[in-house]
Amino acid sequence: MKTIQIWLFIGIILVLVSCQDTTEPDSTQVATFEGTVYALGELGQPLPLSDVLVTAKGFYKQTTTNTEGKYEISVEPEAGEETVSLELEFSKVGYRLTFKNVEGLKGERTKVPDVTMQSTNDDSSVVTPPGGESDDAAHIEIYGSHESHIYVRSSGLTEAAIVQFVVTDARGRRVDENHKVLVHFSILNGPNGGEYLFPDTMTTQAGFVHTVLNSGYVSGTVQLIASFEVNGKEYRTLPVRLAIWGGLPDQEHFSVALDRVNIAGHVHSGILDPVTAYVGDKFGNPVAPGTAVYFYSDYGILEGSAITDEMGRATVRYMSAQPLPPNPAEYSLAEITATTYGDTLKVEQLSSSTKLLLTGPTAAIQISPETFTYTDVNQPVSFDYTISDIWGYPLVKDTRIKITASDGNLYGDTDIKMLDTQASGPGRTEFNFAWAPGDSLEAPQVYISIRVTTPEDGNGYQSANVVGTKQ
């Protein structure tokens, strides 16, 4: 009988276990966020913080950090949405409440920037520094490492940096409780875009103090100092430098430009023309150095990508090569497009484009009239002439047009150095000049010469002559 009861009990347990819902969430339908939480140790070093309650506000999801300070939390986007924007709340008894705004994609894992929580302990928790009792404070210097840069406010990126200092006596010992000092923090120089320090004063704890640089809306370099007074004498640090970088790219501040807008691409292969994308954030600051920009073109060959410099410039090289526009008489432009992303998830794609004119060989010079007559009367003769490639497009930059005459005087468009242009018409492909014999010109004939010379990678040489005869 006892054996039957035992087997009956085991059977009930098995049934209950088999009825439990062991289904895990489908990872392709949730956005997962993972990160690490730290606290500052006595010496200012970051230490993993366990048992921190992590809450995804608005999604009713919570988890806690493990002994390594790590956590993972998954949330499901709203119906029809691929992205999740949420606010993570970090809380633990004895530490200040901390928040972090993050974005993630459904079906992907997102690394959350490290979180450092500040203790709420007061001065009573301070221990006596190593080396025993200290003397009066005599030195202050930066302690440990800190962020080399942050980003402008409202960029969605890191906007604050903790900077730590240590105060010591003349023998290099951290000041103790009996010799603590009030340290003042101030910005010596900055971009004046609303950046600020908080707190701006702090009393040493075991010799340590810290402040937080919070960015404003303007990028640039910030210099901050920490100082204190003892017995009427001021002690201060050397300036500490941090950079405030621009935020994410903005469509209204994204453009692309060519070094030359007209090259003889139908004449020479291998002509290199730099292409530069100019990338700014929504406040008009250059974006952070290292922002990736991608490029492509419908004709020729183009380097595929580059990263921005400190002014938000990313430059690649276009090279004239096949394929070329198939019907250049009607259309001989290569469209060059630059793209980047306006968010960290690479969802919001930005683009800007420009067009490069690919011109052909220099056409025969057209001039009217082709011949002329003159008398002893100083009566000028006017000429119209056209200089272009074989399809009517303007010649490339630094093309030289030079007109000379064997006798008489020339006026007008007689010595021209072409500018970089895609436009045809007066001053670009159409020109005019006048010749006058002067008083009592005796020469029976006058020869007017037009010479077109181009750069080494230009459209090519052409010339023409006009003959005048005396009546």
| Interval 338-372: pLDDT, tens | 999 998 777 789 999 999 999 999 999 999 999 99
Residue 177, phi then psi, degrees to nearest 5? -60, -35
Compute the distance between CA of residue 188 and CA of residue 461 in angstroms, rounded to an integer.
61
Average pLDDT over residues 301-318: 96
Do residues 468 and 449 lie in contact, with contact meaning Cβ atoms separated by under 8 Å?
no
Beta strands in 49-97 (DSSP E): 53-57, 61-64, 70-75, 83-91
Residues 30-66 have pLDDT tens digits of: 999 999 998 887 666 678 899 899 999 888 789 999 9
Whole-prediction pTM value? 0.67
Show Cβ contacts of residue 281 under 8 Å, excluding neighbours closer than 6 positions.
Answer: 152, 155, 219, 246, 247, 248, 249, 250, 253, 287
Residue from 354, 155, 342 nearest 255 by CA: 354
More confident residue, 79 or 151: 151
- Using alpha carbons only, give the angle 80, 83, 84 rounded to the nearest 5 degrees: 110
Question: Looking at the predicted structure, is the pLDDT value of residue 77 above 90?
Answer: no
Task: With H, G, I as helix, E, B as strand and everything else as coil, classify residue 30.
Answer: coil
Question: Looking at the predicted structure, is the pLDDT value of residue 294 above 60?
Answer: yes
Contacts 24+ apart (CB under 8 A), 65-71: 65/36, 65/37, 68/36, 69/36, 69/37, 69/38, 70/34, 70/35, 70/36, 71/34, 71/35, 71/36, 71/37
Question: Looking at the predicted structure, is the pLDDT value of residue 330 above 90?
Answer: yes
Confidence of residue 376 (pLDDT cuts 50, 70, 90): confident
Task: With H, G, I as helix, E, B as strand and everything else as coil, classify residue 258.
Answer: strand
Which domains does the chain carry?
Answer: 27-117 (2.60.40.4130), 123-245 (2.60.40.10), 251-358 (2.60.40.10), 366-470 (2.60.40.10)
Q: What is the DSSP string of 166-195?
A: EEEETTSPBP-GGG--EEEEEEEE---SS-
Task: With H, G, I as helix, E, B as strand and everything else as coil, classify residue 27.
Answer: helix
> Using omega within 30 degrees of 0 as the cis cutoff, is the peptide bond preceding 444 cis?
no
The pair of structure tokens assigned to 111 is: 């690394």
324 CA to centre of own chain:
31
Residue 29, phi then psi, degrees to nearest 5? -110, 0
Show Cβ contacts of residue 189 under 8 Å, excluding neighbours closer than 6 positions.
Answer: 221, 222, 223, 239
Question: Looking at the predicted structure, is the pLDDT value of residue 460 above 90?
Answer: yes
Place of tokens 């090569």: 321
Percent of the chain at pLDDT exceeding 70: 91
More confident residue, 129 or 232: 232
Compute the distance between CA of residue 328 and CA of residue 266 in angstroms, rounded to an integer.
9
> Using omega within 30 degrees of 0 as the cis cutoff, is the peptide bond preceding 326 cis?
no
Average pLDDT over residues 182-193: 95
What confidence score (pLDDT) does residue 113 get? 85
What confidence score (pLDDT) does residue 39 get? 87
What confidence score (pLDDT) does residue 42 get? 66
Residue 60, judged by CB atoms within 10 A of its CB (0-12, 13-18, 19+), counts as exposed
CA distances from 452 to 267, 291, 304, 389 (A): 16, 44, 36, 11
Task: List the end-to-end C-alpha distance of the chain, in Å, as a whole number.
Answer: 145
Give residue 445's identity as a one-letter amino acid code: Q
Place of tokens 């340590």: 208
More confident residue, 328 or 93: 328
> Using omega within 30 degrees of 0 as the cis cutoff, is the peptide bond preceding 323 cis?
yes
Helix (H) or strand (E) holding 14: helix 2-19
What confidence score (pLDDT) does residue 132 get? 61
Lowest mean pLDDT among 268-272, 341-345, 428-432: 341-345
What confidence score (pLDDT) does residue 8 get? 45
What confidence score (pLDDT) does residue 131 get? 54
Compute the distance between CA of residue 117 and CA of residue 97 in angstroms, rounded to an integer.
8
Do residues 176 and 127 lie in contact, with contact meaning Cβ atoms separated by under 8 Å?
no
